[in-house]
Amino acid sequence: MDNALDAWFVREILVHEAALVQFLRRSWPQADDVHDLRQEVYVRVYEAAAKALPQQPKSFLFATTRHLMTDRLRRGRVVSIEPAGDFESLNVLVDEVSPEHRLGARQILKRLAEALDRLPERCREIVWLRRVEELPQKEVAARLGISEKAVEKQIAKGMRLLAEHYHGHPKQDGAGAGTRRETGIRDRETR
């Protein structure tokens, strides 16, 4: 991360990925599109922020998301069976979905540990050797008797899967949808 815009993007936008994805899943009929929509939202936000940083990043993120969905519906790329297009009314709901929270280091570690445990066996083993035992990829390959290319491939896979859980951190241990992670005393009080 080499500049202020990137840092801003990570700090103010990526932290809302779970809420964003949940919003997209709720509002958009095709689950397959969520990955693509997510990326396009990020692109729009990043490009707008390059011109001027939004004062209220989270509201801006969700406003951008609604506009994007509306645009796509207009362009007719999606045939919806829902009485679609009423994204404005979801606004309030979504805005409260996840109160901003900065995670403590211990919670970050917990989330990473869960992410690690969700990796496929080989991938998990390789990420463990690379990240926990801090072996260079070359040594990981030697240890496991596989090619360096194969290790690199597994690392790339691990990066994608870790990011998915780290940013998206799906619900906690099987509790129902809509479960929030523990935020403890930092939760904002709404009155």
Partner 1 sequence: MSEGSRQIEHEAAAWLARRDSGDWSAADAKALDAWLAASTARKVAFLRLETAWLQSGRLKALGAGLATGELPDRGRWTQNLFDLRATQTHDETSQAATRDNAPDIAGAIAGARTRALRAQGGRAWLAAAALAVAAISLAWTWQRHERVEPLAYRTAIGDLRSIALADGSAATLSSDSAIDVALSLRERHIDLTRGEAYFDVAKDAARPFAVQAGDDRIVAVGTRFAVRRDGDDVRVVVTEGTVRLESAPVDGRSQPVTLLPAGSTALANRSGVLVRAGSAIDAERALDWRRGYLVFLDTPLAVAVAEFNRYNARPLVIGDATAAQLRVGGSFRWSNADMFAKLLEQALPVRAEREAERIVLYSR
Q: Which of 29, 85, 120, 136 binds partner 1 (CB under 8 A)?
A: 136
Binding flag, residue 25, partner 1 (CB under 8 A): no
Give least dist CB 55 to partner 1, A. 21
Q: Which of 63, 143, 146, 150 binds partner 1 (CB under 8 A)?
A: 143
Q: What does the DSSP assignment read for 164-191? A: HHHHH---STTPPTTPPPP-GGGPPPP-
Q: How far is CA 123 from the centre of its chain?
A: 20
Site pattern 42..61 for partner 1 (x: CB under 8 A): xx--xx--------------
Q: Which of 51, 74, 75, 106 binds partner 1 (CB under 8 A)?
A: 106
Would you mind telling me the total number of residues written for the chain in this entry? Answer: 191
Give least dist CB 42 to partner 1, A. 4
Binding flag, residue 81, partner 1 (CB under 8 A): no
Asked if 158 and 126 touch (Cβ cutoff 8 Å), the reply is yes
Binding flag, residue 66, partner 1 (CB under 8 A): no
In Å, how far are 62, 66, 68, 93, 143 from 71, measured between CA atoms?
14, 9, 5, 21, 52
